[in-house]
Amino acid sequence: MSADDARFMGRAVELALGRMGETWPNPAVGCVIVKDGQVLSEAATAAGGRPHAEEQAVPAAGDAARGATAYVTLEPCGARSSGRSSCAQFLVEAGIARVVVAALDPSPFASGRGTERLRQAGLEVETGLLEDEAHVLSEGFLHRLETGRPMVRISEEGTGFDARFAASPRADLVTELKRLGEAGYTRLWTGPGELADALAEQGLLTT
C-alpha cells in the first residue's frame, strides 16, 4: 500500500477519533471515499452509533463512488442486527472497486463476513493499514464483547470516554460494570484514587 493509502486512512482514523465517546454502543468508525487521488466524501459513525460511517459516506459520494476506493477503520459489517442492508452491501451496490480496512472486527455481524462479502462481489480488499492506530477506536467495544463489561481507564478529564465510572470502591464492581455493559457502555473513565486502586486490585482497570 502507498503513502497516499496511509494518508487517507489516517484521515479516516482522525474522523473516528473525533467521535469517540459519542457512538456507544457501537465503536467509532471513520470512512473516506477516494477516486483519482481526490476525496469524494468522508464520514464517521453518528452519535448513538447510527448511521454507520459507510452509510453516510456512500450516498454523499453519489455516482462518482463507482470505481473508487473506500478507506474504513473497522471491517464493514457483513450483516445487521436490524436486518437493514449491511455496510459491505452499501459499498458493493455503490460500485466501490477497492476497500482498505485498518482493523478486522470479531463481532458476530462482521468477523470476516464483511470482507468475505466484499471479495465475493469482486472488490479488492486490503487489511491491516494503520491497524495499531485504529485499535483504540474499538478497544472498548471489543472489551465489552469479550467480557460483558466496558473497559475502565484512569483519566483526568475523560475526553473521548462514554462516561465516568463513579461506583463506591466497596461495591461489587464486576456487577456494576456488567450492568453498564448491558446498557451499552464501552469505555469508562475514573480519576486516580481509591476506586482506581480497587479496580486495579480486581483486574478491572485497563492500563
Q: How far apart are CA 4 and CA 198, in angstroms?
A: 46
Residue 100 has which C-alpha cell?
Answer: 482498505
Told to judge if 55 belongs to the known catalytic residues of this protein, a careful annotator would answer no
Task: Report the alpha-carbon distance of residue 1 to residue 38 in Å, rounded.
Answer: 17
Q: Which of 14, 22, 42, 54 is catalytic?
A: 54
Q: How far is CA 47 from CA 26, 44, 50, in A?
A: 9, 9, 7
Cell triple for residue 131?
491497524
DSSP for 97-113, written as a single string? -EEEEEE---STT-TTH
Contact between 116 and 77 under an 8 Å Cβ cutoff? The reply is no
Q: What are phi and psi of 155, to 5 degrees?
A: -150, 150
Strands 69-74 and 124-127: unpaired
- Enzyme catalytic residues: 54
